[in-house]
């Protein structure tokens, strides 16, 4: 059972995992280097614990101690009880969800391990916005994607904002980084996957015609908001498909495009 | 041609349209009451002008004057040129897009007018988050929805954040408010629409089986994140359909669910 420790000094070193949470650049460097990530909110903290992440500590405002009692009772890590004001001083923001946990990262699987068993994977190129990464993971979990592969410059799925937007789906959907981009896409193809690139280009095949749901193993390549997939990634793909769109509209948000593509690849639709 | 007026006093009353943009509650009351909304960023401002909204004024930092020269030349409204720092003082935030316009609202069409010509409409109940409203409009524009109808408690599509997330789609997709909820859904049905309610409920018909793309006129009912559609709205619907989801995942984000549903209703898929 966890030890409950009341802290009233914002500079107490035991709270250092929670310091300056709004400094994106600082946290982006610090968290992977220290093998740390932050889970925020009761639901997300519970999911992190349930999916086997090890807790370094929790930081709760007093009213959350009762709500999280069962988690606390099973926790072999300290729980710091702090006032609402202190939480704000330490983190730099208004912690309206009141429950934070500092968790230990696991080592990521390699892509080969994931590709050996998956049938539907999303491959993200340069999706460097934490909200978009979280949204893609949430939809991937809901719509039956088996895994996510990330180009080296994608945002961190375990960054606080990604975790929150994903509603904890980043804990459930296996993911790996491809180190050599786009060269490592060859590894995906060699594992039996058809590489299907999503693009708004007018000469791409409508996804309804391409019918990726019929393929035994599909890797859906999704690019960043705005620029889309790079020319190199498009060249590396087996097919270029597009979501049919209305005249004059350039594109969907990457989260919306991912949801539609995941649905299309998951679903054997009734005849139209 | 617009008059260029340099202002260096943050309390200059000519800038009052732009004051305290980060005070959501204040702006939520003030903007509809004054028939005002704010467009932010070059692309969004251009779309607002192109789609026929009248400009009350623009507020630009000096470097945007050249980029927006063609808009300024055609504008019968004052353009206030302010320093980056002054823009921040007035609005309360770091205006990194550098171009703001105060626009005049148009009177909304009534639902009857929209329903007379539309074939696919989205009906939102209690979607009170500006980001979600913006995301729904962006997907609606891209995926061929003809219009959006809003329950009385939905967030304002012309609030700055909705406009921005929609990428200006709120200017292109006609929308109306249903005043008497859910009673006015009868008006939608009377106009020849089948009311299709989206719900994660396990006993709803999978959307692939329901095949809403075959219906001549479809109104897709979408509820808020979390609670989903109210029992009253579900009762008012002709069909309850669900997006097939993986075990153990409760739901998609409302923006993702909307994108999938709009795609499903727009698309006559190839046989699976």
pLDDT digits (tens, 9 = 90+) for A252-265: 899 999 999 999 99
A269, pLDDT greater than 70:
no
Domains identified in chain A and CATH numbers = 4-104 (3.30.1330.30), 111-266 (3.40.1280.10)
Q: What is the mean predicted confidence (pLDDT) over A117-142?
A: 96
- Residue B53 CB neighbour total at 10 angstroms: 19
> Quick check: B142 and A249 CB within 8 A?
yes
- Residue B211 CB neighbour total at 10 angstroms: 19
**Strand ranges across the sheet with B99-104:** B4-6, B79-81, B54-60, B99-104, B36-40
The predicted pLDDT at position A211 comes to 86
Q: Between A249 and B164, name the one with better pLDDT.
A: B164
With cut-offs at 50, 70 and 90, classify the pLDDT of residue A45: very high
Q: Is B194 on the interface with A (CB under 8 A)?
A: no
> Quick check: B267 and A135 CB within 8 A?
no
Of the candidates B139, B143, B249, the beta carbon closest to that of A141 is on B249
d(CA A197, CA A135): 19
Kindly list the residues from chain B whose CB atom is less than 8 angstroms away from the CB atom of residue A212: none
Q: Is A264 on the interface with B (CB under 8 A)?
A: yes
A10, pLDDT greater than 90:
yes
With cut-offs at 50, 70 and 90, classify the pLDDT of residue A268: low
d(CA B144, CA A244): 9
d(CA A14, CA B241): 50
Average pLDDT of every residue of chain A: 92
Mutation pick from A47, A164, A243, A259 vs chain B, by most beta carbons of B within 10 Å, is A259
**Chain A: residue whose CA lies nearest to B251:** A142
**ipTM of the assembly?**
0.90
Bridge partners of residue B6, in order along the sequence? B81
Q: Residue A219 corresponds to which tokens in the numbers above?
A: 């890797």
Q: How far is CA B124 from CA B23, B129, B136, B211, in A?
A: 25, 11, 9, 20
Q: Is A41 on the interface with B (CB under 8 A)?
A: no
The predicted pLDDT at position A248 comes to 67
* Mean pLDDT of successive 10-residue stretches along chain B, which has 272 residues: 89 96 91 94 94 96 91 94 93 85 95 96 96 96 96 96 94 96 97 96 91 92 89 96 81 92 79 40
The predicted pLDDT at position B97 comes to 72
């Amino acid at each position: 059972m966890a030890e409950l420790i009341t802290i009233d000094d914002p500079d107490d070193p035991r709270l250092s995992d929670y310091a300056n949470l709004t400094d994106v650049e600082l946290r982006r460097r610090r968290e992977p280097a220290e093998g740390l990530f932050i889970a925020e909110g009761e639901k997300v903290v519970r999911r992190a614990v349930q999916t086997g992440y090890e807790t370094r500590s929790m930081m709760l405002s007093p009213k959350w101690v009762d709500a999280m009692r069962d988690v606390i009772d099973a926790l072999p890590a300290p729980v710091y009880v702090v006032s609402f004001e202190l939480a704000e001083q330490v983190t730099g923001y208004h912690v309206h969800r009141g429950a934070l946990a500092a968790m230990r990262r696991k080592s990521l699987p390699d892509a080969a391990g994931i590709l050996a068993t998956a049938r539907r994977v999303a491959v993200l190129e340069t999706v460097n916005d934490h909200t978009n990464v979280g949204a893609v993971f949430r939809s991937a979990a809901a719509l039956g994607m088996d895994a996510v592969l990330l180009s080296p410059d994608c945002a961190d799925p375990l960054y606080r904002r990604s975790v929150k937007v994903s509603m904890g789906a980043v804990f459930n959907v296996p993911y790996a980084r491809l180190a050599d981009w786009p060269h490592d896409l060859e590894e995906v193809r060699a594992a039996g996957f058809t590489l299907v690139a999503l693009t708004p280009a007018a000469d791409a095949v409508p996804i309804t015609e391409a019918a990726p749901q019929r393929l035994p193993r599909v890797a859906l390549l999704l690019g960043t908001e705005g620029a889309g997939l790079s020319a190199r990634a498009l060249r590396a793909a087996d097919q270029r498909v597009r979501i049919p769109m209305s005249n004059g509209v350039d594109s969907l948000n990457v989260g919306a495009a991912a949801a539609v593509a995941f649905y299309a690849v998951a679903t054997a639709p009734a005849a139209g």
